[in-house]
Amino acid sequence: MSINEGSKVATGPLLLTVEEAARLLGIGRTTAFALVKSGELESIPLGRLRRIPAECITDYINRLRTLARVNNQAA
């Protein structure tokens, strides 16, 4: 999944299952569900299902990177 920032055209699915998000992040399914439950990884209800907007994967990674930078500067 990539989004061309200039034209905002998505080249993949806009909504991912928790399992798909886990695969993209390289984490287990249980960990992904825990991130969704805690609110760390944003998800939206779609009927009885939960879906993760693709842009939220990028947002989550950016938050992790920012946190890592802050922790490295404090050390």
How confident is the model over 55-71, as pLDDT tens digits? 999 999 999 999 999 99
Q: Note whether residue 3 is domain-resident.
A: no
Number of separate domains in the chain: 1
Domain-located, residue 35: yes
Q: HSE on the CB side for 59, CA within 13 Å?
A: 10
Could you tell me the pLDDT band of residue 72, with boundaries at 50, 70 and 90? confident
pLDDT at residue 24, rounded to an integer: 97
Domain range for 40 is: 14-74
The pLDDT of residue 74 is 80
Pick from 60, 38, 59, 46: nearest CA to 17: 46
Q: Which of 43, 39, 61 is nearest to 52 (CA)?
A: 43
- Quick check: is 52 in a domain? yes
Q: Is residue 9 part of a domain?
A: no
Q: 15-64: per-residue pLDDT in tens?
A: 999 999 999 999 999 999 999 999 999 999 999 999 999 999 999 999 99
- 22 domain-assigned: yes
Contacts by residues 19-28 (CB-CB < 8 Å, ≥ 24 positions apart): 20/52, 21/52, 21/57, 24/57, 25/57, 25/60, 25/61
Look at residue 64 and give its three-state secondary structure: helix
